[in-house]
Structure 1
Amino acid sequence: MAIQKIMVPFLDEGSGTAAFETGVVLAERFKAHLDVVHMRQRISPALTGNGYYPIAVTYIEDNIDTLTAAANNRAEDLKKLYERLCRQRDVGLYDEEEHTDDKGVTAAWADVDATLPYDLSSRARVSDLTILARAGDDAPAYEFELVEEIIFQSGRPVLLADTRQPIADFPDTVVVAWNGGREAARAITAAMPILKQAKLVIVMSVGNLPWASEPPDHVASYLKLHGVRATALQARLNKGVDPEEEFMALVKKKRADLIVMGAYSHSRWREVILGGFTRHLLRKSKIPILMAH
């Protein structure tokens, strides 16, 4: 199955530009359509369950016109940026129904009143891939919550690009982070169109795998059946060495252009909803990451 439709949330200038630039690179390879979505938070009184907050409600009611005008201006500015990026990258402006392979990369803009992040997850379910910009170390909590919500609720893979270094070329070398879990297996399936196009795919495990897990060389053999140029690497983990740091050191040594990994391999309680390994990469990796749950 090829990648035919990529959703690109366009919520602000920085993250929207990085996600769009990355989306174009992938769409060029697959002649895909970009669903570029600006979702503005629906303006409503602050109600939670049976709670009622008169100060918040009064503020919104008294300033509804100002808030609406600000949201409209922001949406218009972002749409102009989107249109400029489309001209620069020679992306055709067509609705999804008008897309054909002979048109190359196409894109359509959507401006939607929504409840974030939930409506974004719902829309992602009708795309093959969602691209977001990676939240930085000092990013507010809601940016990580947005990423978590889409990964956990959309049922679709998510690719996180670095805001300062969007993907410039299609990934040649891809590292698959293999821990033997079902999430990692699902990530491989979700990334298969990209893996088939890569020049080299390294299935990498660091340290001991859980009992009865398939080793990385078995995964590489499976991928070869699908025409993937795959190899395996089982790295030992010395005592006292941090597995996340060791993994990233190996990724850099292999000059990887993309990491493919499963998410939520640990407890689903909120405080550890992203396992330590996943959360570490989300915050620290400058290399794009394709994740699936």
Structure 2
Amino acid sequence: MGVLSLKNPLSLFFSALYARAPAVRRRSRLKRRRKEVAIKDLLFHLEPEGPEFPGSEFALSLAQAHGAHLTVASLVIQYPPQLATPASFAGGLEFGDVESVVKFAEEYRKIAREAFAQLSKSLPAGVSAEHRMIESFPQTIGEDCGRLARGFDLSIIPQPSPLGPDYAQDIVTGALFGSARPVIVLPRGFLGPAKLTKAMVCWDGGAPATKALAESLPLLERAEKVEVVCVQDDGQSPGDPNGAEILRHLERHGVAAVLCEIPSAKDEAIALLDRAAESRADFLVMGAYGHWRLRELIFGGTTQRMLAESKLPIFMAH
């Protein structure tokens, strides 16, 4: 018996096996990577407005699609204890004021528990859920919501009503800028499941956009269509990755995306939203820009306008 020739069946078998090994290893690495970046722990902020609970169907369907556990959070405003001191009463605050606020908080806890109980009846098969109360003061809502969101892969937050209290927007800003975790912000009164088949990525080469792109990969991998949209800007740093480079990056992650460049506009947010309407996108992916000024978060202009005007869910990260 000499050296196996290429005509030997055993030789052909091993040759085919060795040739196939790199592809097997690539698929194995892809499966491991998908497992690493999977969405398995969701946080949903429940606002019990009427019987429909805006955003709840979205959260439930997203949890089902990813096999994720869902934590439903309800915000309960506590009364600042310093206002219940004798000095406060001497200053004009009456015991009835304190009692009414405490009573209101307890009534809201009851409403929140009942809302979760009703929501639990709609749990899809295979989805587990729990309820958590966030006890917070108006001035610390942002910090408390940010700390809570750190323990989850993704937060889902419906936009608060413009008629609501001033601190309601702090839920969004706290989770976005205080958690280092991504957030899906839903339009006000959003109803319906998580339809995320067509994605539009708003790309400007900045660090927040990069964070949003990386964090959204589990959703982009499942999307049927992904469009990367760049607003032409002469002021962009030459070192920032351009749209074509991002397409190559996504392709290496198994995401086949297309590039769309739109002209620079005075109102960049409206230009992006117009493009989203033209492409019939289901959701947007973008970086959140903002800075703190005297403990108050000041949104970047485009970020603020997108949140105010968008009729689509926005996946955001900072």
Work out whether the TM-score is over 0.5: yes
TM-score where L is the length of structure 2? 0.77
Structure 1 stretch 191-200 or stretch 201-210: which is displaced more? Answer: 201-210
In the TM superposition, structure 1's runs of 4+ consecutive aligned residues that sit over 6 Å from their partners are none
Identity between Structure 1 and Structure 2 (%): 26
Q: 1:227 is matched with which residue? A: 254
Matched, 1:192 2:228: no
Report how far residue 142 of structure 1 moved: 2.3
Question: What amino acid does structure 1 have at the position aligned with 2:111?
Answer: D
Q: Which runs of 5+ in 1 are unaligned?
A: 92-102
Report how far residue 211 of structure 1 moved: 2.1
SS at match of 2:260: strand
Q: 1:215 is matched with which residue? A: 242
The count of aligned residue pairs is: 273
TM-score where L is the length of structure 1? 0.83
Report how far residue 166 of structure 1 moved: 3.1
* Structure having the higher Rg: 2
Question: What amino acid does structure 1 have at the position aligned with 2:119?
Answer: L
Matched, 1:13 2:46: no
Matched, 1:237 2:267: no
Q: Deviations over 1:51-71 (max 9, x none)?
A: x75467843x44444433322
Matches of 1:272 and 1:205, distance apart in 2: 26
Q: 1:171 is matched with which residue? A: 196
Matched, 1:44 2:80: yes
Q: 2:171 is matched with which residue? A: 146
Q: Which has the higher contact order (CA 8 A, sep 6+)?
A: 1
- Contact kept, 8 Å, 1:6 with 1:27, in 2: the verdict is yes
Report how far residue 139 of structure 1 moved: 5.5
Matches of 1:68 and 1:187, distance apart in 2: 40
Matches of 1:16 and 1:154, distance apart in 2: 28
Matched, 1:67 2:104: no
Matches of 2:150 and 2:51, distance apart in 1: 21
Report how far residue 135 of structure 1 moved: 3.5
Question: What amino acid does structure 2 have at the position aligned with 1:174?
Answer: A
Matched, 1:206 2:240: no
**RMSD over aligned Cα atoms:** 2.6
Matches of 1:71 and 1:143, distance apart in 2: 15
Matches of 1:142 and 1:159, distance apart in 2: 19
Q: 1:90 is matched with which residue? A: 123
Report how far residue 21 of structure 1 moved: 1.9
Q: 1:95 is matched with which residue? A: none
Question: What amino acid does structure 1 have at the position aligned with 2:58?
Answer: T
Structure 1 stretch 68-77 or stretch 186-195: which is displaced more? Answer: 68-77
Q: Which runs of 5+ in 2 are unaligned?
A: 1-36
Matches of 2:52 and 2:292, distance apart in 1: 29
Q: 1:78 is matched with which residue? A: 112
Going from structure 1 to structure 2, the CA distance change for 1:253 and 1:14 (only over 3 Å counts) comes to farther
Matches of 1:280 and 1:261, distance apart in 2: 13
- Contact kept, 8 Å, 1:137 with 1:284, in 2: the verdict is no
- Contact kept, 8 Å, 2:71 with 2:129, in 1: the verdict is yes
